[in-house]
Amino acid sequence: MITIENLHKSYGRLHVLKDVSVGFEAGKVVSVIGPNGSGKTTMSKCILGMALPDKGDIKINGESVLKKHAYRSQIGYMPQIGKYPENMKIRQVIDMIRDIRKEATNVDEELIGLYGLKDMYEKRMGSLSGGTKQKVSAALAFMFNPQILILDEPTAGLDPISAEILKSKILKEKKKGKLILITSHIMSEIEEVADEVMCLVDGQVKFHETIAEIKMQTNEARLSRAIAKIMNGED
């Protein structure tokens, strides 16, 4: 569904992505892991067209997306920290996005309901707690039934019940054949929702395997230990 070919991205003299080639299939949850600053968000931004690669290509269903825009409606994005106009009410933000996407026929309001956002519709974005802002971001990411979801540390800041709601939603949408890329540092969570793990280290793909393969290769039952073994070069 997404093919990344020999991708390079630098910010000034900082070479962040160094020849990244990887493929992601529909109907899978892929966890993108790696140390802070290894290039996870930069890769997501390249897929989203928010950062322009210096070299290489990104294809969605076989077609290059570089310098194109229309494909973006197929992707739902939940940023690490959502930035919203402080003065706008939750209702206004949701109405504004709906208006931008008025051609969309299949609107999914499930998370708005499960998170009780309608009861907070008149609150201004600037007055919301970090977790509530995350709930708005999650609701918006899933709202237009995108075929691809890119979620950047989606449960960071969510209380345990709200995190469970999001994990169930991720698994539900995966069953519909969507591709979901999740950046996360929480191994237990990755183990619960992901099929595959792709690890970036210093802008290069260290490994991209299914969770079952990772555990088998390292002879470890726990994903956190298996990944620690690979990272320490013990496998």
Ligand X SMILES: Nc1ncnc2c1ncn2[C@@H]1O[C@H](COP(=O)(O)OP(=O)(O)OP(=O)(O)O)[C@@H](O)[C@H]1O
Binding-site ranges for ligand X (CB under 6 A): 11, 14, 16, 34, 36-42
Beta carbon of residue 145, minimum distance to ligand X (angstroms, whole number): 26
Q: How far is the CB of 210 from ligand X (least distance, A)?
A: 22
- Residues 185, 156: Cα–Cα separation, whole Å: 9
Q: Which is nearer to ligand X, 38 or 218 (CB)?
A: 38
The SS3 assignment for 229 reads helix
Give min distance, CB of 182 to ligand X, in A. 12
DSSP string over 205-230: EEEEEEHHHHHHHHT-SSHHHHHHHH
How far apart (Å, rounded) are the C-alpha atoms in residues 1 and 64? 11
**Phi, psi (5° rounding) for residue 115?**
-90, 5
Instruction: Map residue 127 onto helix, strand or coil.
Output: helix
Place of tokens 């209380």: 159
Q: How far is the CB of 16 from ligand X (least distance, A)?
A: 4
Please, which residue, 153 or 220, has the CB nearer to ligand X? 153
Residue number, 43 or 148, with CB nearest to ligand X? 43
Choice between 52 and 107, CB closer to ligand X: 52
